[in-house]
C-alpha cells in the first residue's frame, strides 16, 4: 500500500485560516496535491485531546456534513485546487497556538493522518 507522508498532507492546511466562530472554530483546507476522497473520517484532535466526532463538520457542495456521516456512498471529497471548510462546534480556542490533528481513511492508501500548529484569529 502506498504511503503519503504527513509533511505532504500538512500542505492541505491553509496557514492562518484557524479562527473562532460564533459556534466554535473553523479552518480551511486547500487541495494542491491531487483529487481524492475518504470514506471514513476520524474525529479531530486538539492538543492531543480527541474531540467528539459529532462536533466535527465540513462544508461540501454548500452542505454542512458531520464527520460521522462519511461512508463509501457519502465520501469526503477533496477536489484539486478547491477549498473546504472544517468546523468544530462547542469549542472555542484560546489565543495560544494549538496543534490540530486530522485523519481519514482513503481507499488504496489506508489511514492518512497529519497535524498542523497555528494560532487562532478572531478572539
What's the CA gap between 88 and 52, in Å, rounded? 9
CA distances from 115 to 8, 11, 64, 109 (A): 11, 10, 23, 18
Show the CA angle centred on residue 43, arms to residues 29 and 4, nearest 5°.
55
- pLDDT score of 8: 85
Q: Which residue range(s) make up the domain with 85?
A: 6-118
Residue 1 placed within a domain: no
Assess if residue 32 is contained within a domain: yes
Would you say residue 72 lies in a domain? yes
- Which CATH number covers residue 105? 2.60.40
Evaluate whether residue 58 is within a structural domain: yes
The total number of structural domains that make up the chain = 1
Supply the mean pLDDT for the chain: 91
Residue 104 is assigned to a structural domain of this protein: yes
Residues 3-56: tens digit of each pLDDT: 677 888 899 999 999 999 999 999 999 988 777 889 999 999 999 999 999 999
Q: What is residue 61's predicted lDDT score, i.e. its pLDDT?
A: 78
Query: Does some domain include residue 123?
Result: no
Amino acid at each position: 500500500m502506498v504511503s503519503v507522508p504527513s509533511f505532504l498532507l500538512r500542505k492541505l492546511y491553509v496557514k492562518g485560516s484557524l479562527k473562532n466562530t460564533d459556534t466554535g472554530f473553523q479552518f480551511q483546507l486547500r487541495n494542491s496535491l491531487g483529487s481524492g476522497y475518504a470514506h471514513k473520517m476520524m474525529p479531530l484532535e486538539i492538543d492531543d485531546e480527541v474531540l467528539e466526532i459529532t462536533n466535527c463538520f465540513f462544508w461540501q457542495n454548500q452542505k454542512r456534513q458531520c464527520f460521522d456521516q462519511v461512508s463509501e456512498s457519502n465520501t469526503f471529497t477533496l477536489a484539486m485546487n478547491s477549498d473546504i471548510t472544517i468546523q468544530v462546534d462547542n469549542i472555542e480556542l484560546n489565543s495560544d497556538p494549538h496543534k490540530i490533528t486530522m485523519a481519514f481513511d482513503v481507499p488504496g492508501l489506508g489511514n492518512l493522518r497529519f497535524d498542523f500548529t497555528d494560532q487562532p484569529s478572531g478572539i
